[in-house]
Structure 1
Amino acid sequence: MSKIIRPVLFSSYFNISTDILFDNGLIDPFINCDTPLFIDPFLLEKSQNSLIKNQAVNRLKNQFQNIIKFLIQSKKENDAAWKAALRLLNLHEAQVTSLGYGHSGRFGSSRSGNIKITILRVCREIIEVGFEDPELICMMNFFEDGIGVDTISDLTTNIIFDDLAEITKDFCQKYNIPLEKRELFGLNNRFVNCNVNAASQNKCYDLPVLKNGYPIVLVPKDIVKVLQSDIDGVISQNYYIRDAINRYWGNVTKLTIANKKAAIKRSTFEDVHNFETLLKSLKNFARAYNPSEDEYCFYKIKEIFQYDPIVFKNNKTYQINNISDVMSVVKDTIHFFKDHIENKNLWEALWNGDQPKMERASQILYYAMADSFCRANNIDISPEADMGRGPVDFKFSQGFDAKVLVEMKLSTGNVVHGYKKQLEHYKKAAQTEAAFYVIMDYGNNNFDKKLQEIYKIKNDLITQDQRASDIIVIDACKKKSASKI
């Protein structure tokens, strides 16, 4: 999985305020890494952007209608109609939007042709049952393991790319951001300079371009959602799916995503009307990522990257010569984060009302604070973060030998296992013994008992002359306002 190092915002690169993008209904993307948000085709009709709500929606439906039309005409796989449908399924990773799984390169790669074939086969099965609504293609990630929201997102992005490019062009012209002509070329969706004199059949787009020659396309913020699947919400809304799960597998809480998808597929195929119910449910359930709730702190970290560097400056001078120096820097970043959580109201970013946000929120927030701290204090190391499908983990390194890991967990989770097993696994993989285990304390009743057990594990390791990871607890509980203290 690619690592994210020192991200740069579109707004910073082109010297405009991130608030301008927000007020225009657009995401302020990182230009050198991706944010794990994905375009949901069911959100297009709900968008406040008129171009998306009308033109993009029609473009998407027309493309899907053509795919279904060819599948209906097809008599067998690999005949002319089948191949025509296959050509219309562009699942190439749409890197120009800077959304997705945190790739460090700005060119995506095409997905396996097997995924395209699987999509067409499932579509054909559904058509044979008697359901021919073109939007059935948007439902594929609820039927097949290996087809996720990222697959459907890239398919959607590639279809509505012209509309996203037009939105980007209009915004940049409005705020005097320079544009250059770029031509989308070849199967790998690579961009090249437009040769207006050549007889090219590819379109030219006016887009903002980075110094490396790669363009960026802006995306409305009300058509994206997080990776988290809507499967559980769909199951809770549909009695026939819940009934199928009870009949086939039993307790839904113990099922894998693959099991849940299999149950949805099996129950839906029992009756053509179930497809209509499922499609309606998916449309109703679709919700864009909410900036005001900011469940994963994506908007908060962009705000942090806009802060004056003086906020992160201290009075130390750092010299990084060995592992002890790296440990000292990492410890300072954690205590800097701890101070802002416990004493300077940053805890507010970790709560939605009376509910703590996801674990990833605190992890991403720490990443932004640590990165900004290193930049402001002229420290030539920076946290690497894996923002992909799995947990977020952090590594600070200077050369091959000086590596320090940071593992962050919520007190509400299995923190004992995290310290005893998970962190040790990460250390072994990174070939280092230096690590910090940070626990975000949200005030749950049995945390003291868990903490005692963790410290016992640490003390036992020290007694056995083994290296034990440092433990830092951060009080992330809701605080009273100054007027109520």
Structure 2
Amino acid sequence: MLNFLSSVLGLGNKIDDLGVFDPLMDIDSNYFINIKRLKETNIPEFKESYSKINKRFKEIGILLANSKISSDRLYQRALQLFDFPEVNGIGLGYSNNEHGSGFGPKLRKQIIKDAKQIIDSGVKEPEIFHLVGLFERNVGPDRISDMIACIIEDDIIAYTKRINKELSINSSKYSKFEFVNELLINPYKKSPLLLLPKEVLHEIPIARDWDDIDKVCNEINNIRLEINEVIGNKWSKMSIGYKKDFLRDFFISNPSHLMETITKYRSASVKPYDFKKDAKGEHIVAKIANNLPKNYPIQIQQQSTTFETYQIAQVICNKFKDLIENNKVSELLYYGGKPRPEKIVQRAFFCVADSYCNAFNIGISPETDSGRGPVDFKFERSYEDRTIVEIKLTSSSSLIHGIETQIQEYGKAEKTSKMIYLAVHNGGPQKRIDDLKSFYLSNKAKKGCPELIIVDATPKDSASKYKST
């Protein structure tokens, strides 16, 4: 099973019932702290968080406005204040490592240099730093979220301590875990585990309208006119990096247009992210799929030690197929009538497979890379006993390439001929599926041909309604 805090501590639905985001303890979740949601929250520990963020940015702005050169004391103090290492305990972002990158020295210097130019042009609003992801390369959702978390870390700690108290998460009840200053030490990351309310999180750190450069440029009339006049049709072909460079230079040269952008940003509001529907899919799919093996156990007559990983992988893949086709789990793989991306299907499979693997005492590793790119899953008991499983959606244009070439290369890299190709039908064209079947029938007798398992994940008329548990 995935290591949700609720499952590790046996809390059931208590975390969700309190409106707390149930974190995965061993990997990061791709959700982010949203500045605009902090402005609107009534949660006591975070009522002053938005003001605290702007206070820090105002202080940096005042220092830069009064500095003369980059080597003077005021400029250097501003640079010191713009230091936001990752707050490791919150478990958010894109990193699956123990620690993320935060803002490195080179990036900090570049941002402060650009901020100084913008401030010297006449714009001194703290929202300059809210929108830094619009005009700075290498600044994305995770770094902005890190920046916010760093500034309000004390608020996050206070909230965590209150929730820990309400849920009796303490050293007396959980004596096998380490606690420091009333905070649970995450055994997987070796850092204090910090909690956040769902209502301040989002799939991106600021409103969607302000994370999408093209959309911002289209909605701010003066920017759109400038782009049409100077760049024209080339804009659509430019990389994100070059678009950010253009906006940075444009804002420095046109401070009134930056103020227009800030004014529009200030008036924007962001609704709470709906974790029950979860458009992003990562959390709800993992939460529900994580509990499926308990409700739908695999029945095998013999002892698991008599089976090789290939046999176990076959059983698990076919169980996944049964859950999707006959137990209405296919609903998890859609949102708003549209298929979720392949990585969500992979996460659902991993949640199911990992629990079954624990029962059979074999290891499963997602996205292992042995030199020819990452295979989706590797089942392993020993160097001599390993099986790889590759998942592809029928909506993928690389469906045939996956079975003809891709999984074969993964097999060579992992030094195994035990391979399963799991094709999940989510509405891809029938010809593509027919071609897949034709390839398999023509090659299944040949050495090295993976077993093909096709899962019909197309929506069923009477799909069940799932609730996160």
When normalised by structure 2's length, the TM-score is 0.82
Secondary structure class of the residue paired with 1:332 = helix
- Superposition map of 1:193-204 within 5 A: none
Take 1:303 and 1:482, find their aligned partners in 2: how far apart are those partners? 15
Correspondence for 1:117: 109
Correspondence for 2:467: none
Correspondence for 2:340: 357
Summarize the Cα distance change of 1:236–1:66 in structure 2 as closer, same or farther, 3 Å threshold.
same
Correspondence for 2:70: 77
Take 1:339 and 1:157, find their aligned partners in 2: how far apart are those partners? 42
Q: Judge conservation of contact 1:461–1:467 (CA < 8 Å) in 2.
A: no
Q: Is structure 2 residue 457 aligned with structure 1 residue 476?
A: yes
Deviates more, 1:256-265 or 1:91-100: 256-265
Take 1:244 and 1:338, find their aligned partners in 2: how far apart are those partners? 53
When normalised by structure 1's length, the TM-score is 0.80
2:114 partner letter: V
Take 1:159 and 1:117, find their aligned partners in 2: how far apart are those partners? 18
Q: Is structure 2 residue 253 aligned with structure 1 residue 258?
A: no
Deviation, 1:71, is: 1.6
Take 1:249 and 1:428, find their aligned partners in 2: how far apart are those partners? 48
Q: Judge conservation of contact 2:37–2:200 (CA < 8 Å) in 1.
A: yes
2:89 partner letter: V
Deviation, 1:177, is: 1.5
Q: From 190, 194, 197, give the equivalent of 1:217.
A: 194
Deviation, 1:317, is: 4.1
Deviation, 1:57, is: 1.0
Listed one character per residue, the Cα deviations across residues 246-304 of structure 1 (whole Å, up to 9, x for unaligned) are 55262666543324433443544452233234335556375654212213241231234
Deviates more, 1:262-271 or 1:8-17: 262-271
Correspondence for 2:118: 126
Q: Judge conservation of contact 2:102–2:146 (CA < 8 Å) in 1.
A: no
Listed one character per residue, the Cα deviations across residues 402-441 of structure 1 (whole Å, up to 9, x for unaligned) are 4433333333232344445554555555455544333332
Listed one character per residue, the Cα deviations across residues 235-255 of structure 1 (whole Å, up to 9, x for unaligned) are 453444555555526266654
Q: Judge conservation of contact 1:37–1:226 (CA < 8 Å) in 2.
A: yes
Deviation, 1:14, is: 2.7
Listed one character per residue, the Cα deviations across residues 127-150 of structure 1 (whole Å, up to 9, x for unaligned) are 123221112112222212212111
Deviation, 1:116, is: 0.9
Deviation, 1:91, is: 2.7
Q: Judge conservation of contact 1:234–1:285 (CA < 8 Å) in 2.
A: no
1:84 partner letter: R
Secondary structure class of the residue paired with 1:209 = strand
Q: Judge conservation of contact 1:360–1:391 (CA < 8 Å) in 2.
A: no
2:30 partner letter: P
Q: Is structure 2 residue 338 aligned with structure 1 residue 344?
A: no
Q: Judge conservation of contact 1:48–1:222 (CA < 8 Å) in 2.
A: no
Take 1:352 and 1:255, find their aligned partners in 2: how far apart are those partners? 31
Secondary structure class of the residue paired with 2:331 = helix
Take 2:36 and 2:226, find their aligned partners in 1: how far apart are those partners? 25
Take 1:245 and 1:466, find their aligned partners in 2: how far apart are those partners? 57
Listed one character per residue, the Cα deviations across residues 426-458 of structure 1 (whole Å, up to 9, x for unaligned) are 5555455544333332224xx222223444555
Correspondence for 1:313: 298
Take 2:227 and 2:453, find their aligned partners in 1: how far apart are those partners? 42
- Superposition map of 1:25-36 within 5 A: 25-36=19-30
Correspondence for 1:14: 9
Q: Is structure 2 residue 449 aligned with structure 1 residue 449?
A: no
Deviation, 1:108, is: 5.1
Deviation, 1:368, is: 0.9
Take 2:203 and 2:374, find their aligned partners in 1: how far apart are those partners? 14
Correspondence for 2:155: 163
Unaligned runs of 5+ in 2: 173-177, 465-469
Take 1:470 and 1:407, find their aligned partners in 2: how far apart are those partners? 11
Take 2:220 and 2:408, find their aligned partners in 1: how far apart are those partners? 42
Q: Judge conservation of contact 1:245–1:263 (CA < 8 Å) in 2.
A: no
Take 2:213 and 2:405, find their aligned partners in 1: how far apart are those partners? 30
Deviates more, 1:160-169 or 1:216-225: 216-225
Take 2:43 and 2:218, find their aligned partners in 1: how far apart are those partners? 31
Q: Is structure 2 residue 258 aligned with structure 1 residue 275?
A: yes
Deviation, 1:219, is: 1.0
Listed one character per residue, the Cα deviations across residues 179-206 of structure 1 (whole Å, up to 9, x for unaligned) are 69xxxxxxxxxxx997xxxxxxxxxx53
Take 2:406 and 2:108, find their aligned partners in 1: how far apart are those partners? 36
Deviation, 1:44, is: 1.4
Take 2:427 and 2:112, find their aligned partners in 1: how far apart are those partners? 50
Secondary structure class of the residue paired with 1:208 = strand
Correspondence for 2:175: none
Q: Sequence identity of aligned pairs in percent? A: 24
Q: Judge conservation of contact 2:19–2:197 (CA < 8 Å) in 1.
A: yes
Unaligned runs of 5+ in 1: 1-5, 181-191, 195-204
Take 2:257 and 2:42, find their aligned partners in 1: how far apart are those partners? 30
Summarize the Cα distance change of 1:44–1:193 in structure 2 as closer, same or farther, 3 Å threshold.
same
Summarize the Cα distance change of 1:108–1:179 in structure 2 as closer, same or farther, 3 Å threshold.
farther
Q: Is structure 2 residue 314 aligned with structure 1 residue 331?
A: yes
Q: From 97, 100, 103, give the equivalent of 2:96.
A: 103
Q: From 77, 82, 90, give the equivalent of 1:89.
A: 82
Q: From 198, 206, 214, give the equivalent of 2:182.
A: 206
Secondary structure class of the residue paired with 1:84 = helix
Take 2:433 and 2:463, find their aligned partners in 1: how far apart are those partners? 29
Summarize the Cα distance change of 1:91–1:461 in structure 2 as closer, same or farther, 3 Å threshold.
farther
Correspondence for 1:49: 43
Deviates more, 1:280-289 or 1:38-47: 280-289
Correspondence for 1:438: 422
Summarize the Cα distance change of 1:424–1:149 in structure 2 as closer, same or farther, 3 Å threshold.
farther
Correspondence for 1:152: 144
Take 1:428 and 1:252, find their aligned partners in 2: how far apart are those partners? 42
